[in-house]
Amino acid sequence: MNFLPILVIVGKSIKYEEMSIFVNRTKVLKISLFAILSAFVVEFVFGVFTNSLALVTDSIHALLDSVVTIVLLVATRMAIKPPDAEHTYGHGKVESLGGLIGGIAILLIAGFFIYESIERIQNPPSALPGLIALTAGFYTIGVDVFRIILLRKSIKKLGGTTLKADYYHAFMDFGSTMIVIIGIVLVSYGFYFGDFVAALILGVFLAILSLKLIYTAGMDLTDIISPELVKQARQIVTNTKGVIELGPILMRRSGDTVFADITISLRADVSFDKAHEISNNVETNIKNKIPNAAITIHFEPDWKGVSRNSKVNDILSSIDGVKEVHNISSYSSEGKVYLSLHVMVDQKINLDSAHKISEIIEEKIQREIPETEHVTIHLEPFVTIPENLKVKSKKTGEQINKLLNEYEEIKKIGRVVTLNFKDVLKIDIDISFEKNLSIEEVHDLTSQIEQKIRSEFKNSIITIHPEPI
């Protein structure tokens, strides 16, 4: 029995859904980009006009944030690309890379804030902005609030590392602009150091956020996966009917897709169709709990609880020269197993060749079933029955009826069908016996009848159907 790996493919409808998510993320990032660019223009113009260093600095920060948003936008677009020869798992990791770049940019900006805050506390600037600069600050606040709301809703609906990175950027923009406004207001009332202290606090807070984002994106790039997610998948698989044992579970995330490579053990005598059905059930159960999962399932044979005869039949199926196996019987004595079986081989080979096949059979059985003490093999010729046979003459049927009439145990001779192809004669017979005869007696009688007919008709294949009367 061959156990082949089954790859469960995600349906086209899911692919279309994923494409729609990526397209919507791109639209959100474009809106965010245009909004922050407008804030850059307004803050830079008003900053130059009012000689406000804070506004000019914040406008440069907005410009840098625009560049980061462009990086995130490119990363999201690349993540849409389908798998290719060099990226068989797709391009979802590009999105994590974009999140990593965004996190590093935030950390650098946060470091700049901290440095500037300490520098200005030690050396306060001589030129201070006027209240007119608040107009640009409030405009930027409106833009930041708009971006925060847009991105927060989009993250809940669409997810994605790049959207989270831009969301943190928007928060940072809001905080930095608030610092500018508070600083301008405090300076107007004579509190020269208020904006610097606030900037220092914000810088530390943003540094913590950026480190968290860098860590998350970095771990995604190293294929880290939540142990709870693996535990959940393991419980789902073990609870699926038909799964005997669960082997290793390998999981990784690429973008929003969770790839899972799962090995399961099934009863060794289960059919391939049934094994495929169980594998599909495992895949369905996992996808019901873990959306966007792409699953590869490998199944292996498990012989626990499977009859010894089934295992013997499976062993012989892989041996060259064995055409058919039947009448497998086994019994145990003092911890040893004794087997007997009928093996059909090509009718044209000689005894020496047939015996070599039987030696291979015995050796393989004793290797696969170590407790086997002895194997008795009854060799039989295997005759292939052609699909197209011609009806034999009535004379042949009459000869067979004459042979059958010699047996007193036969109460009635039913249909006798004789067909031939070249040197092969196929004989099917319906015979009625006394209904109280044991099945053993009937078997002995039919065996004798077969031998009798075969002695008269060489290369004959005989099937006798016994009926009670």
Give the pLDDT confidence score for residue 360 in this predicted structure. 93
Please identify which residue in the block is written with the tokens 């965004």.
102
Mean pLDDT is lowest, of 33-42, 139-148, 274-283, 390-399, for 390-399
DSSP letter assigned to residue 91? S
CA–CA separation, 64 and 269 (whole Å): 64
CA–CA separation, 65 and 59 (whole Å): 10
Write out pLDDT tens, residues 77-87. 665 666 666 66
DSSP string, 9-32: PPPHHHHHHHHHHHHHHHHHHHHH
pLDDT, average across residues 243-270: 82
Mean pLDDT is lowest, of 8-17, 45-54, 371-380, 409-418, for 8-17
Report the share of the chain in percent with pLDDT over 70. 75
| Token pair in block for residue 421 | 């192809």
Write out pLDDT tens, residues 405-428. 989 899 999 988 888 766 778 888
Between 97 and 247, residue with greater pLDDT: 247
CA–CA separation, 75 and 155 (whole Å): 16
Top-confidence range, 77-86, 206-215, 357-366: 357-366
Give the pLDDT confidence score for residue 11 in this predicted structure. 39
Give the pLDDT confidence score for residue 6 in this predicted structure. 36
403 three-state secondary structure: helix
Between 22 and 2, residue with greater pLDDT: 22
Give the pLDDT confidence score for residue 12 in this predicted structure. 38
Q: Contact 41/58 with Cβ under 8 angstroms?
A: no
103 three-state secondary structure: helix
Give the pLDDT confidence score for residue 86 in this predicted structure. 62
Q: Contact 64/37 with Cβ under 8 angstroms?
A: no
Give the pLDDT confidence score for residue 10 in this predicted structure. 37
| Token pair in block for residue 87 | 């990226």
pLDDT at 284 over 60: yes
| Token pair in block for residue 313 | 């039949």
pLDDT at 2 over 60: no
**Mean pLDDT of the chain, nearest integer:** 78
CA–CA separation, 34 and 28 (whole Å): 10
CA–CA separation, 265 and 269 (whole Å): 12
Write out pLDDT tens, residues 134-186. 788 888 888 889 988 888 888 877 776 667 777 877 877 787 787 777 767 77
Residue 431 — pLDDT band, cuts 50, 70, 90?
Answer: very high
**Domains of the chain from N-terminus onward:** 12-221 (1.20.1510.10), 227-302 (3.30.70.1350), 308-382 (3.30.70.1350), 390-468 (3.30.70.1350)
383 three-state secondary structure: coil
